[in-house]
Amino acid sequence: CMQQGCRTTLVVITLLGSTYLPTGALAGESVNPGIPGPATSEALACFVPSNCVNSFDSLGLPPLRFRGSTADGMARLKTTLATFPEAQIVSSTAHYLETIFTTTIGFQDAVEFIVDEGAQRIDFRSRSKFGLFDFGKNRSRMRDFAASFEKAQSSGTPADRN
């Protein structure tokens, strides 16, 4: 195709002042690791920092901390997610959980969690699936989520007693 002068173009669609980037590696597709192990900063990287927050970047948020096994951490995640009616779990393995949060006006944000039992931490990435800017929504949601997660742990929910 290079000999014929063909070129490849990334199509970006503008709709109501927002730019839509296709899902996939450029937009930060799901990591859904098939093997257990600690999270890496590459797996949960924010490819578009203006619509994403994670637990690795210098401007990110701290990881969630838990006590116990991977199953305990995952149980706490699911218990906390149940208090967020806008959240829907779309994929889950022993160490990985992916959730879609839908705002009242229909925007969707993907939140991914990776449980690291050895470090007793849960790393995450929360990113908008639509648009280049989230106006701080992912950051504020994850702060609220972290506060709820911590409250559940300090109150000694059943997952903490296993």
- pTM of whole model > 0.75? no
9 has pLDDT over 50: no
Quick one: pLDDT at residue 55?
Answer: 94
Quick one: pLDDT at residue 36?
Answer: 44
Q: Which residue would you say has higher pLDDT here, 44 or 33?
A: 44
Q: Are 19 and 12 in contact (CB under 8 A)?
A: yes
102 has pLDDT over 50: yes
Residue 91 tokens, joined? 């994929």
Calpha distance 4→153 (Å, rounded): 62
Which pLDDT tens digit goes with each residue over 52-99?
999 987 789 999 999 999 999 999 999 999 999 999 999 999 999 999
Calpha distance 140→101 (Å, rounded): 13
Q: Are 103 and 86 in contact (CB under 8 A)?
A: yes
143 has pLDDT over 60: yes
* Number of Cβ within a 10 Å radius of residue 49: 14
Q: Which residue would you say has higher pLDDT here, 11 or 124?
A: 124
Mean pLDDT score of the chain: 78
* Torsional sign, CA 83, 89, 94, 96: negative
108 has pLDDT over 80: yes
The secondary element (H helix, E strand) that includes residue 150 is helix 137-154
Per mean pLDDT, which range of 16-20, 137-141, 146-150 is the poorest? 16-20
Q: Quick one: pLDDT band at residue 160, thresholds 50, 70, 90? A: very low
Q: Which among 26, 62, 64 is positioned nearest to 45, based on CA atoms?
A: 26
Helical axes 70-81 vs 137-154, angle rounded to 10°: 120
